[in-house]
Structure 1
């Protein structure tokens, strides 16, 4: 019996568990389906390149076939370890555009405007650049400049200046638009996940009980009140109970899946699987939004880039010793070192595309490798109009969820992405790259919209920002209210990326941590 049960130790769960157990009179059980985060591949930033394409520390989900992507199944890496996806991501600290949160408030979510959420971004943050009106210091989440950027990254910045794109030294400052360097959730050249910031320092608290290798299988209810849950560990079923609340922090896929398995969701979906209906809540699993993303990659003869070669192997070995000595060098790279937020049309009020410049030749989520060196660049649509859903493949709680992002189902998303690809190519074909740019991995005629569209349908996929499947609001498809309580239920909240009513214009780790910081205060206020 616990005061609170938190399901999932990712960017939401680590924060909730840490903040609630600051009160020694409150005991919390935190369940994590994955293993402890003790691998060097997690803590050495470059390890993301090894984790991303494989299933260790990674759920490695596949989507349903995507009709607008030549019926390909997409790939959805998600963290399966303490820290969740914050333990396997590219560590980029991006909040999105301030208007994103004003949009949430305009939808009826009182208390979620940018002015309302900024204090929680600052509370979470320890920005090594210092504090000001927009940035915080002293928080658990360390935010740093990239320690040892690869030389090719500065070529990207030079190229962007040559084609007259504006520069920006702080994507989380007063203005998001421009080209610049990302800040990262690192400390002293190591990954600084939500777990490293919030959970690891507090594991000795007697009122915090963390169980790894424990996959939640069903929520338990008395009427409409959540009273506990069952979980599987080492092939055995276990049951725990709560005096107060269960807080779901499994993310945009696992949270709706657990609700559906437990009888909370659209009645037709539950009936189809033969699941007894506890509460007919039509929005569970609906409203899935994700950043559709296209990558251009080039080979290069320069060792200022990363790649597979004898020389590259020597550089990597030297880098390992350098990182072990002072936590600097190539091992500290997040791979995506530079980027941009740009407008595809001058009359837009905010950027609608984002670039991630990668210091190696990325192809198919690093699942395809190429001999030699190179570089690559992502471009994604920041506020896609397409909506998908998450459902059940079966009522087996250990089966993967059904994930259908429905990418490019709205033609405007394709139009924006085509414009974005052209803008990205202007940078990659600028004179600054002339001494570095070899053959493209995939040749595309940039003068032909049809050929660009065909390339997108052949290779575009997620850039790992699924949200929205248990959205906050008061409309018929809303799942939680502005206090993150599940509509029509007692003792049940959600504090993860699934509650975002609309996808923010940027990476989603920092906003999820903000949601959990605000959610923790709401929970504390209810028990004060």
Structure 2
């Protein structure tokens, strides 16, 4: 089979790219996805995350693990990743957060010309169909539905009040003029029509509505094995499909959209990467690119959970079972109620010190007890709060265990390898705890699940090392830039290989100050424009804007 464009991975990047490129009826597009269609009830019902996230069994989820982490008492971390159309946007908490505007300005200052906030803002707006309508900072007519939460619990409003009691201002738009404060997250969820209350994954927004296009071919349950290279050019992808090995060829470009773990893995399996890593697994070097798999960054997250006597929460008990049955009926009828919840209803972007210019800590307030990614369940009811360091200094890597395309990638985030991250996470935990102990939340508390009575720094730090884990934002393993360790240039073209781009979170040079789904969709909107309209026009625009030519 031969197409103009071949896209590997149907997640947030790939779904956007396939949809936008196939808008041109004169080109043919093939999307390769290892999982299913991402349209089942567990994806559509937001509360279905509790069945998919734990990975037991693996439903729409790769359910990866890290190698043992010295900074986490030698534990293996858990890394859920979406395996279906929509990717991780099909199994996440639906939170719409772009990051702080200065994060993108930082990218531009690091040599990624064209990626300042004012330059990426039009692509955020293009993607966004915000319930609040058009404004300078928001789009009202884009395919990705961004709405207010359907039926937040009363405790979430009390969490916001508790934050205000601790001196934080209320913020009704974390993607607005100022990120700092406490409030409700907006969510990627349908807010009107027959799908009201359903998850709006990247696939539901961009891909499912256009699957009938004659020029778009979507191959499900199809495993990419390696890239096909010819004379320094990517000309296709070798896949396993229906038990057979096939070659899918690309006349124009191949785009890798597998995410921060699977994209570097596929590059390395194809002989593109660090020669030392490839040599350990007997993979012939096709193109030496030492930055592939390096620069892994992730948001390490610590949770404090509290038992509660209030049953208007998501929990295990007779009252909860009855309420859940009613909630399912309510959601199917109106799109509202407990089934419509993102669970992480309350938000906080706070500073560890008032002298800082931007928040360096993020809070997720959850209407249930959360323990080990919902893999450990507790009878009764409760609530949780998460804290993560927004711009960690620790850097990890992704490598290979072997040369088998069906093996998982070797994931080593090197959490807390920089002691500054540990100190800031401890500080963030104390600030989070102040909010959880504020008067407005006091009526809900019985006791903390693990940390009741733990007050001194050393003991609290030990709890962090024994229970902290990802909050699902890995980036950076094919970072863009103009230096020798960059994998792609600022237009996302793989250095030294023509006809090959990376369009996913792996290209981010640094983590943004927030969740990563919205920025990934923005990145794909930009890439689609370059691929559709040609790089020459994009180069000229950037040269005009910046007065200097980019490194190709």
Deviations along 1:430-474, one digit per CA (max 9) or x if unpaired, are 111222101211025554111111011000000000000000001
Determine the C-alpha separation between the residues in 2 that align with 1:229 and 1:101: 32
What is the aligned partner in structure 2 of residue 296 from structure 1?
Answer: 304
Deviations along 1:49-76, one digit per CA (max 9) or x if unpaired, are 1110021100000000000100000000
1:380 aligns with 2:381: no
What is the aligned partner in structure 2 of residue 456 from structure 1?
Answer: 464
Determine the C-alpha separation between the residues in 2 that align with 1:501 and 1:147: 35
How far 1:223 moved relative to its partner? 2.0
Kept after mapping to 2: 8 A contact 1:225/1:491: yes
Determine the C-alpha separation between the residues in 2 that align with 1:110 and 1:4: 25
What is the aligned partner in structure 2 of residue 76 from structure 1?
Answer: 79
Q: Which region of structure 1 is more displaced relative to structure 2, 11-20 or 429-438?
A: 429-438
What is the aligned partner in structure 1 of residue 544 from structure 2?
Answer: none
What is the aligned partner in structure 1 of residue 548 from structure 2?
Answer: none
Instruction: Return the match for 1:406 from 401, 407, 414.
Output: 414
1:132 aligns with 2:140: no
What is the aligned partner in structure 1 of residue 115 from structure 2?
Answer: 112
Alignment of 1:479-490 (within 5 A): 479-490=487-498
How far 1:304 moved relative to its partner? 2.1
Kept after mapping to 2: 8 A contact 1:34/1:81: yes
TM-score (norm 1): 0.99
What is the aligned partner in structure 1 of residue 193 from structure 2?
Answer: none
Query: RMSD of aligned C-alpha atoms?
Result: 0.9
Deviations along 1:379-438, one digit per CA (max 9) or x if unpaired, are 000000000000001000100000000000001100110010001000101111222101
1:416 aligns with 2:412: no
Determine the C-alpha separation between the residues in 2 that align with 1:95 and 1:85: 16
Determine the C-alpha separation between the residues in 2 that align with 1:415 and 1:445: 20
Instruction: Return the match for 1:103 from 78, 103, 106.
Output: 106
What is the aligned partner in structure 2 of residue 469 from structure 1?
Answer: 477
What is the aligned partner in structure 1 of residue 516 from structure 2?
Answer: 508
Determine the C-alpha separation between the residues in 2 that align with 1:521 and 1:361: 43
Determine the C-alpha separation between the residues in 2 that align with 1:280 and 1:108: 22
What is the aligned partner in structure 2 of residue 44 from structure 1?
Answer: 45
Instruction: Return the match for 1:93 from 84, 91, 96.
Output: 96
What is the aligned partner in structure 2 of residue 396 from structure 1?
Answer: 404
TM-score (norm 2): 0.95
Listed as ranges, the gaps of 5+ residues in structure 1 are none
SS in 2 for 1:470: coil
Instruction: Return the match for 2:180 from 171, 177, 181.
Output: 177
Kept after mapping to 2: 8 A contact 1:445/1:452: no
Kept after mapping to 2: 8 A contact 1:295/1:378: yes
SS in 1 for 2:225: strand
What is the aligned partner in structure 2 of residue 15 from structure 1?
Answer: 16
Determine the C-alpha separation between the residues in 1 that align with 2:442 and 2:533: 59
Instruction: Return the match for 2:168 from 165, 169, 176.
Output: 165
Listed as ranges, the gaps of 5+ residues in structure 2 are 191-195, 538-552
SS in 2 for 1:145: coil
